[in-house]
Amino acid sequence: MKNKISESSGKLKDKAYIEEAPTGLYDAFGGGDISTKVINGFIEEHEKLNLNSDGVSMAIEKFNNDNKEVLDNINNPENISAISDPDKKFKDLQTSSPAPTGKLIGGLIIEVKFDVEDDGNVTLEINREYADKGDKGGVVLAEKSEVRELLTRTLRLINENIKFKAKQEKVQETFNKFSISVEKAINKVEDEKKQKILRKLMKATYKINSKMPTVYTEYSNLNVKLARAVISYAALCLKNYK
C-alpha cells in the first residue's frame, strides 16, 4: 500500500470529504470525522504500548525498571544473596501494576494487572473496557505525504512489537538457563528469613516474565487491527486521487 501511495499522483479529486464513514473505519476509529489527526492520535496511544526504541511493552518496561537489581543478578546467581531489601521489592511487586491504556483501536481500553500472592504465585488479569464510539461522522481525505506518514508510523509500530517479542524471549531464556543456579544460590543464604523472601521474590519474578507472552499477543493483535484500519483509510484516499 505504501508503494501504491508513493506511485500515485497524491492529489485529491474535487471530493476531499466523504459524508458518511465506512462501517469498518467507524468501528475502528469511532464517531466524528475521521482524519489523519484522529488516526495519528490512535497510533500515538498504541506507541505508548512500546515505550522505547527496543519496543518494550508498557507492562514489562515498568516491571524491569522496578526490578533492575533482581534481573541484573539473574545473570550472575552468586550475587542473588546481595539483593538489597528483598522484602520491600516483593511487596512492591504486589502493589505495582501499569496504568490503564488510553483509547486504542476499536475504542478499547486495557488494564494489565499482575496479582502477586504471598507465596509468590502470580495471576495475570487483562481487563478490557470499550469507550462510547459516538455518532458516525464522515472521512476527511488526505494527500500523499500525510498518508505516507500514517503508514510509516504504523509499520514502525509493528516492527517495535516484533522486537519486544524477541527481547521477552531472551529474558525467558535467561531465567530458564539460570533457574537451578539461582535456587542453589538462595540455598546458600544463611539467614532463613531472607532466604524465604528471596525465594518468593525470584518465584514471582519468574512467574511474571513467563506470562508476558500473553501480554505480547494482546498488544500484537491490537497493532495488527490498527494497521488494517490505517491501510483501509489509505486505500480510500488512493481511490480518490486524480
* CA atoms within 13 A of residue 129's CA, in its CB half-sphere: 9
Distances (CA, A) of 176 to 71, 128, 181: 13, 31, 10
Average pLDDT, the chain: 87
Q: List pLDDT tens digits, range 6-29.
A: 767 778 887 799 999 999 999 999
Bridge partners of 241? 12
pLDDT recorded at residue 118: 95
pLDDT recorded at residue 54: 40
Cβ pair 93, 212 in contact under 8 A: no
The whole-model pTM stands at 0.85
> Which of the given ranges, 98-102, 159-163, 199-203, has the highest pLDDT on average?
199-203
The CA distance from 167 to 200, in Å, is: 24
The CA distance from 190 to 187, in Å, is: 8
Q: Mean pLDDT throughout 132-158?
A: 94
pLDDT recorded at residue 58: 56
Q: Mean pLDDT throughout 200-212?
A: 89
Under 8 Å CB-to-CB from 30, ≥6 apart: which residues?
Answer: 103, 107, 131, 133, 134
Which amino acid is it at 30?
G
Q: Mean pLDDT throughout 93-100?
A: 78
Q: Nearest-CA neighbor of 96 among 129, 73, 126, 65?
A: 65
Q: List pLDDT tens digits, range 39-72.
A: 999 999 998 876 543 444 555 666 677 778 887 8
Q: How confident is the model at residue 175 (pLDDT cuts 50, 70, 90)?
A: confident
Residue for grid cell 481500553? 109
Opening angle at CA 220, ends 230 and 161, nearest 5: 90
Query: In which element (H, E) is residue 34 found?
Result: strand 32-34
